[in-house]
Amino acid sequence: MKDALIVDNSELMRMVIKDLLEENEIKSVGEAKNVAEAIDAYQRQQPDLVTLDIMMPGGSGIDVLKSIMAKNPKAKVLVITESGRDGVERQLLRQGACAVIHKPLTSSSMKKGLQAAAGGGAAGPEHAFSPRVLIVDDSSVIRTMLKDIVAARGWEVVGEAADVAPAIDSFQKLLPDLVFLDLVMPGGEGTQILRHIMSNKSKTKVLIVSSLAQTKLTEELIQGGAAGVIAKPFTEEEINAALSKMYPAASERGKEGKEGKEFSAEQRDALERLFISSGESCAQAMTKMSKAPWTPIKTQLLAATSAEFLSLADRGHRMQVIPVQITVKKTIMIVGLVMMSKNAAEQITRAVTKNAAPTLDGELVKSMMLEWTNILVTAVVNAFANQLGKVIVSSSPRILDWPVKDLITRVPRELSDNPERVMAAYNTFSCKSLEADCETLFIFRTDNSPLVAQ
């Protein structure tokens, strides 16, 4: 494979995918951010490979895949998406996708995905098996409880049945990997369904969930082919323990969607210390550059869904904002915003350039702010590296040409489909001698921040 079309609604993700493709000597011949653009670009470019996101404006990745496969059944499509959508992912694989790998991307996961697309085998753990589930119970309450437990693991519930005949019919049509099975139902006994499943020599596993908690009966059910027996009333922990025992690999895969949504208290404290340290490094760099003392005032860790974070959007409207994106260790995306008033920007420019002119050229001020931002971003990366005792290589900061109006609310959506996976470090600085203040906001995914990545 020599060239690829990159399809993802996130500009930041397209940057990372492009870099990883180039690392594997694959050239990007085009990019698309929605369904219509993707279909049109494929028709025009006919690339060797398409990297495809699932969630996009104007439809889904399934629509793009259907269109591509209709034109070229041998097309190579590598799905790159957020984890936790196993039902959709399974559908994509059935319809012709070569492999599915998950965000946040790593060099390793991309390499495995490309190997699978080239015909070199499955895409590693990211392509792990996830059971399709049929739930059989005459109680809608029990079915809902089990469905919620399964959904929390990222598994797909393909059907439900409330009696024996519909259950057998659903099994024959759906051929699920796992059946939750009650024993007592209006139209017969669950043992009839168990015997039917076992007589088909199916690989389907059956987990009995019944109020008939009898030792002899449990022994007979296990001998009859049941993978396990859970007594009602059950707890979520009991069901999950049984499922993890039955599907250990799929259970680990199902946890991916939950990773990174929350930090532990220890992780949060450690990350806050890192950003306090980076704030001190920023203040030192600003002091050296402007030849005036800067003081760090405050450091806060903010969830991207918090009111405090969203309120910064109003502040950004009234200030000079320079947004940059850097990629750490090739795959860790961080967006940094440097915010200050127009007066502060001019004061800093005068201090650094020693320009005493009554009016400053706007381009000079802009150039100064870009250099100022570059220094601050580098100071943060250096502080992380020194604190962790690691070598952290980052890309050169890229200026994001995005409207300030929706900048702060846009970044979390660019970094992840799930804003709960995004946090920000907010620092404020002040320089009394210049009568200037400066604010920085570094926004990142919790599941691939430099701290977690170590």
The answer to whether residue 154 scores a pLDDT higher than 80 is no
Note the pLDDT of residue 453. 44
CA-CA-CA-CA torsion sign (84, 88, 93, 97):
negative
CA-CA-CA-CA torsion sign (393, 395, 396, 397):
negative
Choose among 103, 122, 110, 100: nearest CA to 24: 110
Choose among 233, 292, 329, 325: nearest CA to 434: 292
Q: What DSSP line would sit under 46-67, residue for residue?
A: --SEEEE-SEETTEEHHHHHHH
> Does a cis peptide bond (omega within 30 degrees of 0) precede residue 104?
yes
Contacts of 126 (CB under 8 A, 6+ apart): 83, 99, 100, 101, 102, 109, 112, 113
The answer to whether residue 54 scores a pLDDT higher than 50 is yes
β-pairing verdict for 205-210 and 228-231 = parallel
Beta bridge partners, 324, equal 336, 399
pLDDT: which is higher, 122 or 106 = 106
Q: What's the burial of 357, exposed, middle or buried (CB within 10 Å: 0-12/13-18/19+)? A: exposed
**Alpha-carbon gap, residue 387 to 270, rounded angstroms:** 10
State the pLDDT confidence band at 258, using cuts at 50, 70 and 90.
very low
State the pLDDT confidence band at 256, using cuts at 50, 70 and 90.
very low
pLDDT: which is higher, 399 or 429 = 429
pLDDT: which is higher, 183 or 395 = 183
pLDDT tens-digit readout, 267-282: 778 888 888 888 999 9
Average pLDDT value for residue range 34-40:
94
pLDDT: which is higher, 30 or 396 = 30
**Alpha-carbon gap, residue 452 to 267, rounded angstroms:** 8
pLDDT: which is higher, 104 or 282 = 282
Are 428 and 376 in contact by the 8 Å Cβ rule? The answer is no
State the pLDDT confidence band at 263, using cuts at 50, 70 and 90.
low
Contacts of 115 (CB under 8 A, 6+ apart): 121, 123
Domain annotation for the chain: domains and CATH numbers: 3-126 (3.40.50.2300), 132-246 (3.40.50.2300), 265-453 (3.40.1550.10)
What's the number of CA atoms in the CB half-sphere (13 Å) around residue 398? Answer: 16
pLDDT: which is higher, 92 or 365 = 365
Are 276 and 269 in contact by the 8 Å Cβ rule? The answer is no
Beta bridge partners, 133, equal 157, 178
The answer to whether residue 438 scores a pLDDT higher than 90 is yes
Q: How many other CB atoms are there within 10 angstroms of residue 70's CB atom?
A: 10
The answer to whether residue 85 scores a pLDDT higher than 60 is no
Note the pLDDT of residue 69. 93
The answer to whether residue 174 scores a pLDDT higher than 50 is yes
**Alpha-carbon gap, residue 296 to 51, rounded angstroms:** 43
State the pLDDT confidence band at 146, using cuts at 50, 70 and 90.
very high
pLDDT: which is higher, 291 or 155 = 291
Per-state percent for the chain, helix, strand, coil, to nearest 5? 50, 25, 25
The answer to whether residue 248 scores a pLDDT higher than 80 is no
Note the pLDDT of residue 139. 94
Contacts of 389 (CB under 8 A, 6+ apart): none
Beta bridge partners, 230, equal 209
